[in-house]
């Protein structure tokens, strides 16, 4: 009986799937023939912290783009704008921040699950469920805080992030696979520990990786931006392949660290923080049709005009060469783990939110993508 309990305990408390050998890749100077052509740009007003998701009614149905974020005047409600594939506005919905039925939280993200729209939120610890017109149906209450951005198509489970606070060490992050609505969590990859404390009890920030992940071809792809490491999982959370780019880490001058923190984050009380000088070499991963692009970063400049440098991988994690991708909102900025991006791909087109920092104006744009590989 004691042996059975020990075996059961070990099985239940296993945090990660089995590790596999890591393949180290060298940078490539050859360019791949991937072209981006802007077809349309429309003003995007009334929303801060804009993000995108798609709703596809199927091969014989309509395809819609939803852009959402905080109300730019009061930041006390979420605004969702619905567009057709040519960026014409169809409708707009508003949701107050709160705990009531249909209310959303400040950490809400949206995604399509079957014929429904799910709105998971970490701050209110619930998942709102809407129909395709954003009419509220019901909500599912969560017992533990969670960070989620990727539900599977059938809605039976999702991939997200979980955290464990272990003072004085700091936060440990985990990539998790959770059932829904039963919410049984399986930790499939450990990330951390981060937000470390030094001897003066000042939090060292900037060493936490920007974690980015997406689902494609029934596989999960995870990017750790600090180490430039990419891991491919199957949909059960098993690691299939792991690669790391052998890149030289660059540093930001010490006098620029405080300026960098203020530009990159919304952290208050800067005197309590200590900054790392190591620049994270990449930021976002952008899944396309034949492969995905990883945006490269040379410094902590926040602005971006025209095109940005990127590496291009196929979906077997082979590095094919370098390319350039259109600039989009927060392309280089450190971001919260819970928020999906302002750029998404669908059937030959890249849709994105672009910020003109000089004019302080936003635009929703449509770019044609040609992967001539």
Is a pLDDT exceeding 70 seen at residue 34? yes
300 belongs to a structural domain: yes
What pLDDT shows up at residue 197? 53
305 belongs to a structural domain: yes
3 belongs to a structural domain: no
93 belongs to a structural domain: yes
More confident call, 8 vs 218 = 218
The number of domains in the chain is 1
What pLDDT shows up at residue 244? 96
More confident call, 230 vs 98 = 230
Summarize pLDDT for 129-162 with one digit per residue, the tens: 999 889 999 988 876 666 666 788 888 888 887 7
Residue where the block lists tokens 């089995």: 18
Q: Which residues of 20-59 are buried (b: 16+ CB within 10 A; e: fewer)?
A: eeeeebeeeeeebebebeeeeeeebeebebbbbbbbeeee
160 belongs to a structural domain: yes
Is a pLDDT exceeding 50 seen at residue 116? yes
* Domain containing residue 174: CATH number: 2.120.10.30
Band (pLDDT 50/70/90 cuts) for residue 30 is very high
270 belongs to a structural domain: yes
What pLDDT shows up at residue 257? 60
More confident call, 242 vs 77 = 242
304 vs 281: CA distance, rounded Å: 16
Query: Could you tell me if 274 and 260 are in contact, meaning their C-beta atoms sit under 8 angstroms apart?
Result: no
Residues 98, 100, 101: CA angle, nearest 5 degrees: 130
- List C-alpha distances in Å: 298 to 14, 248, 251, 304, 332: 38, 11, 9, 12, 10
335 vs 340: CA distance, rounded Å: 9
| 28-42, 191-205, 244-258: least confidently modelled range | 191-205
Is a pLDDT exceeding 90 seen at residue 281? no
Residue where the block lists tokens 């969560």: 142
Band (pLDDT 50/70/90 cuts) for residue 360 is confident
What pLDDT shows up at residue 338? 47
Helices (H), 49-200: none
Which of 27-41, 52-66, 171-185, 199-213 tops mean pLDDT?
27-41
Summarize pLDDT for 206-241 with one digit per residue, the tens: 545 567 888 999 999 999 887 899 999 999 999 999
356 belongs to a structural domain: yes
11 belongs to a structural domain: no
Average pLDDT for the chain: 81
Band (pLDDT 50/70/90 cuts) for residue 57 is confident
Band (pLDDT 50/70/90 cuts) for residue 9 is very low
- Fill in the DSSP letter of residue 272: G
Could you list the residue range(s) of the whole structural domain that residue 286 is in?
19-371
């Amino acid at each position: 009986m004691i042996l059975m309990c020990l075996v059961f305990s070990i099985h239940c408390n296993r945090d990660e799937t089995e590790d596999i050998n890591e393949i180290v890749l060298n940078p490539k100077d050859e360019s791949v023939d991937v072209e981006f052509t802007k077809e349309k740009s429309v003003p995007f007003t009334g929303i801060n912290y804009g993000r995108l998701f798609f709703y596809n009614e199927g091969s014989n149905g309509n395809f819609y783009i939803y852009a959402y974020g905080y109300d730019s005047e009061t930041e006390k409600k979420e605004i969702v704008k619905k567009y057709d594939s040519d960026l014409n506005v169809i409708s707009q919905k508003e949701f107050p921040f709160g705990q009531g039925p249909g209310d959303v939280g400040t950490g809400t993200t949206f995604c399509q699950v079957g014929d429904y729209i799910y709105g998971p939120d970490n701050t209110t610890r619930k998942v709102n469920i809407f129909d395709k017109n954003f009419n509220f149906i019901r909500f599912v209450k969560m017992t533990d805080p969670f960070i989620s951005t990727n539900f599977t198509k059938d809605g039976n489970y999702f991939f997200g992030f979980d955290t464990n606070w272990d003072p004085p060490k700091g936060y440990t992050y985990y990539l998790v696979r959770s059932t829904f609505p039963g919410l049984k969590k399986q930790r499939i990859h450990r990330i951390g520990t981060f937000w470390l404390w030094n001897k003066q009890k000042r939090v060292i920030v900037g060493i936490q990786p920007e974690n980015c992940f997406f689902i494609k071809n029934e596989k999960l792809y995870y990017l750790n931006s600090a180490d430039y490491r990419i891991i491919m999982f199957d949909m059960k959370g098993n690691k299939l392949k792991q690669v790391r780019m052998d890149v030289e880490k660059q540093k930001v001058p010490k006098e620029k660290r405080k300026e960098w923190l203020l530009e990159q984050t919304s952290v208050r009380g800067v005197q309590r923080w200590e900054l790392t000088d190591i620049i994270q070499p990449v930021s976002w991963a952008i899944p396309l049709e034949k492969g995905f692009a990883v945006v490269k970063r040379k410094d902590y400049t926040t602005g971006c005009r025209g095109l940005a440098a990127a590496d291009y991988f196929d979906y077997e994690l082979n590095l094919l060469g370098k390319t350039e991708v259109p600039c989009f909102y927060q392309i280089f900025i450190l971001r919260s783990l819970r928020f999906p991006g302002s750029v998404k791909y669908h059937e030959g087109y890249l849709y994105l939110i672009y910020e003109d920092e000089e004019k302080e104006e936003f635009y929703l744009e449509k770019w044609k993508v040609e992967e001539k590989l």
